[in-house]
């Protein structure tokens, strides 16, 4: 039986620069470790710099003798603050004027009580989607400078229960934490695929991918306390402790779809990578089908317009300057 795609299949990444949001724990930390292990310079972007430095220390230890040579650095980024996103992007533009090769929109919050970001957005939609939309837009000029650059946006199987409630995106009229999470993860999927459509229309040498980690036992999946009923109601904390034995797979396995989306040279732009097991909850990383609504131009256009209006950030799809 084929072992499928594994981290051993990641190509040589020497000379490439990757930015990973939320790389200080769980799946994000594993993504940073594997990208660095294969030669990339990795910018670990997270809200808590000390936690980021702790993650770097763990990564260097995990890599053994090669850890001391790994190029991995921490930068402060709070996706719940458009000001922080702007400052982060401006700092990278000054530091890396030749561009970046890879952006992994990995960070996320899951199923908190209704809270708002610094800019007044519902926390999940504001962080998971709008923060990453703004970040990608701000970093787009740097990505355009590198032929073959790539953006990977991490969605979730929870996107299946998501619905874009354009009349109440921020849950001010009514808030259900898991439905809000599903909406934010559906928005991630729509954004990633729409971005590829716009890249293709502009004739740019870039790829935008979506990926999901299945159901993975990480600190993110245990972030919610009182779970609503429905699909994600299965993800109770005691059940997740069973880890790979039943539904949840390890963070190591959960990172593989994202790593494949980020590095597999044979994948077409606009691919959605998930797991090949039952319900896509676990298994080998493979191309899977997105939600049909994620391919709906009217919905995608509306989400883009709402995102630009909310963040004040748009993308430059004009010809790349020679």
Residue 181 falls in the annotated catalytic set: yes
Closest C-alpha to 288, from 305, 267, 265: 267
Q: Beta strands 17-21 and 41-46: pairing type? A: parallel
In the set 178, 181, 191, 304, the catalytic residue is 181
Give the distance from CA 307 to its chain's centroid: 17
- E-strand stretches of the chain: 17-21, 41-46, 72-76, 102-105, 149-154, 206-211, 272-275, 285-287
Distance CA(170)–CA(192), nearest Å, equals: 20
| Residue in 167, 164, 206 with CA at minimum distance from that of residue 188 | 164
Q: Is 312 left (phi over 0), alpha (psi -120 to 50) or beta?
A: left
Q: Cα torsion for 252, 195, 159, 44, to the nearest 10°? A: 30
Active site residues: 181
């Amino acid at each position: 039986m084929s072992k499928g795609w594994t981290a051993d299949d990641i190509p040589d990444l020497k000379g490439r620069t990757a930015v990973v949001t939320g790389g200080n724990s769980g799946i994000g930390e594993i993504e940073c470790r594997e990208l660095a292990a294969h030669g990339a310079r990795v910018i670990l972007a997270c809200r808590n710099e000390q936690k980021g430095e702790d993650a770097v220390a763990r990564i260097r230890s995990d890599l053994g003798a090669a850890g001391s040579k790994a190029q991995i650095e921490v930068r402060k980024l709070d996706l719940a603050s458009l000001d922080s996103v702007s400052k982060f992007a401006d700092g990278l533009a000054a530091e890396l004027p030749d561009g970046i090769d890879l952006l992994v929109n990995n960070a996320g919050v899951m199923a908190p009580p209704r809270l708002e970001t610094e800019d007044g957005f519902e926390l999940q939609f504001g962080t998971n989607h709008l923060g990453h939309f703004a970040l990608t837009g701000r970093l787009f000029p740097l990505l355009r400078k590198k032929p073959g650059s790539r953006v990977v946006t991490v969605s979730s199987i929870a996107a299946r229960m998501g619905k874009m409630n354009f009349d109440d995106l921020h849950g001010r009229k009514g808030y259900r934490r898991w439905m809000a999470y599903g909406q934010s993860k559906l928005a991630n999927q729509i954004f990633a695929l729409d971005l590829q459509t716009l890249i293709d229309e502009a004739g740019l040498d870039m790829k935008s991918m979506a990926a999901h980690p299945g159901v993975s036992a990480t600190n993110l999946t245990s972030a919610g306390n009182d779970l609503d009923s429905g699909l994600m109601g299965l993800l109770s904390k005691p059940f997740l402790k069973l880890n790979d034995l039943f539904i949840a797979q390890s963070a190591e396995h959960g990172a593989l779809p994202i790593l494949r989306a980020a590095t597999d040279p044979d994948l077409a732009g606009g691919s959605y990578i998930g797991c090949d097991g039952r319900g896509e909850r676990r298994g080998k990383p493979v191309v899977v089908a997105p939600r049909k609504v994620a391919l709906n131009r009217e919905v995608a256009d509306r989400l883009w317009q709402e995102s630009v209006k909310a963040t004040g950030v748009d993308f430059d799809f004009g010809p790349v300057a020679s």
